[in-house]
Amino acid sequence: MTDYKRIVRDGLWDNNVVFAQMLALCPLLAVTGTATNGLGMGLATTAVMVVSGMVIALFRSMVTPEVRIPVFVLLIAAIVTLVDMMMNAWLHELYKVLGLFIPLIVTNCAILGRAESFASKNPVMASAADGLFMGLGFTLGLVVLGAVREVIGSGTLFANAALLLGEPFHFMELTLLPGYDGFLLMILPPGGFLVLGFLLAGKRLLDARRSRVAVQPEPAPDAEPVAG
């Protein structure tokens, strides 16, 4: 029986690609100069993760452990290339914005990581769900990191979101600090490392506080004795 609740929790928080597994840092730091870029990269990666998870789960019983890595890499690369071609041909407006990020997805070790640790051991639907929520967790990481860097770096939030999502989303483009000169370091790669470091520390703090809260009731007299 697949525990979908577990998959959701793992993907979004407990085992988040960025904040817990710390995978995919190369595309992460490269594209998160703005929240919009992070969102675009996250959504494209999510799509690839769902499809690659399903395909790998489909073939999982056939593939021997000796050749699994080359086979997975081959499948992922083929899927990414197909997505790239199809978007270029049929979703050209979106491609012009996201096209830059698609080839980067091949280098995303998070996808191979999920193929190896989840899709190769689980049925197709569970793998699709895992891909979806891991992808959304990755998107969350990218957007948060991009937003922090964008606000500190250039004083805006979701700049050029209308280019990515279409005109109706113009309202998302905010200038939080008008007349702000910008803080170049945040937009450049070192800013990515700095912000990621602070965000990781923040998550650890939150998790630590939560586990303290969870432990506290134990000495209380009305607490149920723990079995074993």
Partner 1 sequence: MHKTNPEPEYRKRLGYSAALLGGFAMLAGAALTLGHVQTRDDIAARLAEDRKASLSQVIPAALHDNDLLQAPLALALDGAESKTFFRATRGGAVSAVAFEMIGQGYGGAVVVLLGLDRDGKVLGARVIAHNETPGLGDKIEVKKDRWITTLEGHSLAELGHDGWQVKKDGGQFDQFTGATITPRAVITAVRNGLDLFATHREELLAMSTKDENKDKMNKKKQD
Q: Do 135 and 45 form a contact (C-beta atoms < 8 A)?
A: yes
- Applying CB under 8 A, does 27 fall inside the site for partner 1? no
- Applying CB under 8 A, does 8 fall inside the site for partner 1? no
What's the min distance (Å) between Cβ of 42 and partner 1?
17
Task: Give the distance from CA 137 to its chain's centroid.
Answer: 5
Q: Do 17 and 23 form a contact (C-beta atoms < 8 A)?
A: yes
* CB closer to partner 1 out of 6 and 210: 6
Single out the residue of 16, 21, 34, 52 in contact with partner 1 (rule: CB under 8 A). 34
Residues 111 and 76: their CA atoms lie apart, in Å, by: 8
Site string for partner 1, 126-165 (x = CB under 8 A): ------------------------x--xx-----x--x--
- Applying CB under 8 A, does 70 fall inside the site for partner 1? yes
Single out the residue of 20, 58, 77, 172 in contact with partner 1 (rule: CB under 8 A). 77
- Applying CB under 8 A, does 6 fall inside the site for partner 1? no
Place of tokens 């699709």: 128
- Applying CB under 8 A, does 37 fall inside the site for partner 1? yes
Looking at 3-11, 55-63, 126-134, 218-226, which segment touches partner 1 (CB under 8 A)?
55-63
What's the min distance (Å) between Cβ of 181 and partner 1?
7
- Applying CB under 8 A, does 71 fall inside the site for partner 1? yes
* 135 burial type by CB count under 10 A (0-12 exposed, 13-18 middle, 19+ buried): buried
Looking at 5-13, 85-93, 200-208, 220-228, which segment touches partner 1 (CB under 8 A)?
85-93
- Applying CB under 8 A, does 184 fall inside the site for partner 1? yes
- Applying CB under 8 A, does 190 fall inside the site for partner 1? no
Place of tokens 């007299």: 221
Counting residues that bind partner 1 (by CB under 8 A) gives: 38
**For binding to partner 1 (CB under 8 A), which residues are involved?**
33-34, 37, 59-60, 62-67, 70-71, 74-75, 77-78, 81-82, 85-86, 88-90, 92, 96, 120-121, 150, 153-154, 160, 163, 181-182, 184, 187-188
